[in-house]
Amino acid sequence: MVKFKHRALITFCVICLGYLSFSQSAHASNLWAVVNSNQVTQAEVFQLRVILDEKVDSDEIDFTVLEKDFFLGQPSFASALNFTNGKRSSTSEWTLALKARTTGQLVIPSFEVNGSQSQAITITVSADTNLPDQKDLAEIESTLSRTTLYPYESAELKTRLIIKADVRRLQNPNFFAPSAQSNQLGITVSEKGKANQYNRVINGVDVTIIDQVFTVTAEQSGHYTLNSLGFSATVVHGNSRTGTTKLIPIELIPEQFAIEVKEKPATMTTPWIPSKQVTLQQRWLTADGEPLVPDALTQTTPTLNVGDALTREITLEIDGLTPEHFPRLETQYPSALRQYAEKPQYRQQPNGQYLMTLKQVLIAQQVGKVELPAIDLTWWNTQKDQKELSALQGLAIEIKPVDVSNTPIAVPVEPSKPAVVYQSGYWPYLTALFALLWISTLAWHLKAGARKADQNKTVAHTETSDLTKMLISAVSQSDSAKIQHLVPRWLIEQNGKDSALIEQIQAEVAAMNRHLYSHEQTKWDNRQLLTLIKKLSQSRLIKAQANVELPKL
C-alpha cells in the first residue's frame, strides 16, 4: 500500500514537469538576424535587421561587437503590439547600416535576447573594381611663395580645395590645417583672412572651390617640413539601377614642403629686419593737414609760430614681415619741440603686405631755428644677402613768436570846462544855449562810441566763435594734431576768463597726450574736454567794471 502511494506521487511529479517544459517550449521567443545581401563589395552599404517576437527595450542588443569588421551607422529601433483574431503579439526590431572594413569572409555573430539566440551570418566581401578615382572626387592644390627664409621672415601658403562631387552627398568632412611636421617649433602657421568658397565650371563639371591663404613665419634657424592642407570625407554614391548604396572614402594627404631657415648674420644688430624690399617714406603736414614742404625741400626755411603743430607722418612697408616684427621708430627731437607719437597703425595692402603708418605730432614751444633729425633704418636684404640702409631726411624749421595784436582801447577825452560869464544882459541866454548844444554833442558822442564798441565786440565775438567751432570739431573727431594746434590759440582768446577752467582744459589735454603714449587699446574719451571747452566759451570775462561818470558842468 505504501509502495503504491509513492509510485503515484512520482508519476504525478513527472507529468507536471513534462507539462511545464512543453509549455515553456511552446511560448519561447524567436530571434532572427537577416541581411539584404550576404555578398557585397567593400564600399557597399547593406542593412542588418534583428527581429524579436517580444517587446523589449532598445538596449537589449549591443552592436559594438561588430566594430572590429564593419563601419556602423546609427541603429534604429521600433516595437509594435498587434491583435489578430483576439490574440495579442509583440515584435521588436533593430535596423543597422553596415559597411565592411576589409575584403574576405566576415561573420556577423549570434545575438542573444532573454535566452533567445539568432543565427550567425557569413558575409563575403569583394574588392570594388569600378569606383571613381580620388582625384575625380576632390583634389588640393598648394603653392608656397618661398622655401628659404630668415628668422622673423614670412612666406605665403596658398591652398585650393576642389570638390568635384556633390557637396550634399558628403559625410563627415574634415579639414586638416597646415602645420609643421611633428609640431616643430622653428616655424609657425597662421590663417591669413577667411576662407573663400565659390562654385566654378571646370571641364564642364560644376565644382566647389575653397581658397585659403596661410602665413608661414620662421622663428628659429634650421630645416623643417611643412604639411599643407589635408582633407577627408565620405561620398554617398547611390546606384538607381541596382538599388545599392556605396560609401566612397576621400583621403587627401597633405603636400609637404621643405623649408630652410638661415641663421641671422652676426654683423646685424637690433632691430633685426630681414626682407627682400623695404619702403620707407614720410610727409610733413601742418595742423590743417596740408604739406608743409612739397615734394622736395625748398630753399626757404619753413616757419612755425609758437604753439603751432607739425606732424611727421612716416609710412613703412616691409615685404615678408608681419606687424609684430615691425621695428619701433623712436626719434629724439630738440627741446624746442614737444613730441606726441601716436600708436602705429597697420593696414594690409592688396598685395598682401602690411603698411605701418606712424604720426609724430610736434608742438613748437621755443623761438629759434631748429633742426629736425633724420631717421635711418638698417635692414638685411634677403635676396642679395647684404646689409641695406633706408633713410628719411631731416628738416630745418624756424619758430617765431606768436603775433598777438591788441585792440586799442578808446579813452574818452575830458572836455574843457565852459567859461562862466558874470555879465548880465543877453549873455546868460547865449551861455545857456551853448551849454545845451554842448550837452547834446556830448550825448551824441557817447552813443556813437557805445555803438562802435558794440560793433568791435561783435566782430571779436564772431572770430572767437569760429575758432571755438574749429576746436570743438577737432575734439569731436579726436584729432590730436589739430587739438594740439588749436588749444593754445583758443586759450589766448579766452584770456581773462575763469582760470580754474583753463587749468582743467590744460590738464585734460595733457591726459590726452599721455593716452597717445600709452599702450592701451581703448579709445580716448573726449567728452570731458568737450564739456570744459563749451563751458569756458560761454563764460564771461572776470573783470572789474569801472564806473564811468559824466564830467561835471
pLDDT of residue 138: 94
* Pair 341, 311: CB distance under 8 Å: no
d(CA 11, CA 23): 18
Q: Which fold has domain 134-261?
A: Immunoglobulin-like (2.60.40)
d(CA 303, CA 402): 12
Domain spans of the chain, in order of start: 31-126, 134-261, 274-400, 444-537
d(CA 483, CA 466): 15
d(CA 52, CA 34): 12
Q: Are 31-126 and 274-400 in the same CATH fold? A: yes
In 10 A of CB 488, how many CB atoms? 19
pLDDT digits (tens, 9 = 90+) for 143-157: 999 999 999 999 999
Please name the helix (run of DSSP H) or strand (run of DSSP E) that holds residue 122, with its range, or none: strand 121-126
Report the chain's terminal Cα–Cα distance, integer Å. 174
* Pair 248, 132: CB distance under 8 Å: yes
d(CA 88, CA 72): 34
* 161 confidence band (pLDDT: 50, 70, 90): very high
Checking if the pLDDT of 40 tops 60, the result is: yes
Query: What single DSSP character describes residue 255?
Result: P
Mean pLDDT, residues 87-101: 91
Q: What CATH class does 31-126 carry?
A: mainly beta
What string of H, E and C letters represents the secondary structure of 293-353?
CCCCCCCCCCEEECCCEEEEEEEEEECCCCHHHCCCCCCCCCCCEEEEECCCEEEECCCCC
CA torsion, ordered 265, 268, 270, 275, to nearest 10 deg: -70
Checking if the pLDDT of 431 tops 80, the result is: no
Q: What CATH class does 274-400 carry?
A: mainly beta
In 10 A of CB 370, how many CB atoms? 21
Please name the helix (run of DSSP H) or strand (run of DSSP E) that holds residue 187, with its range, or none: strand 187-191
What's the pTM value of the predicted model, to 2 decimals? 0.61
Checking if the pLDDT of 47 tops 90, the result is: yes
Residue 215's SS3 state is: strand
Which of 257, 386, 272 lies closest to 320 in space, CA to CA? 272
Checking if the pLDDT of 543 tops 80, the result is: no
- 9-23, 73-87, 230-244, 386-400 — most confident range: 386-400
The grid cell for 481 is 594734431
Q: What is the DSSP string of 359-407?
A: EEEEEE-S-EEEEEPPEEEEEEETTTTEEEEEEE--EEEEEE----PPP
442: buried, middle or exposed (CB in 10 Å: 19+, 13-18, 0-12)? middle
* 243 confidence band (pLDDT: 50, 70, 90): confident
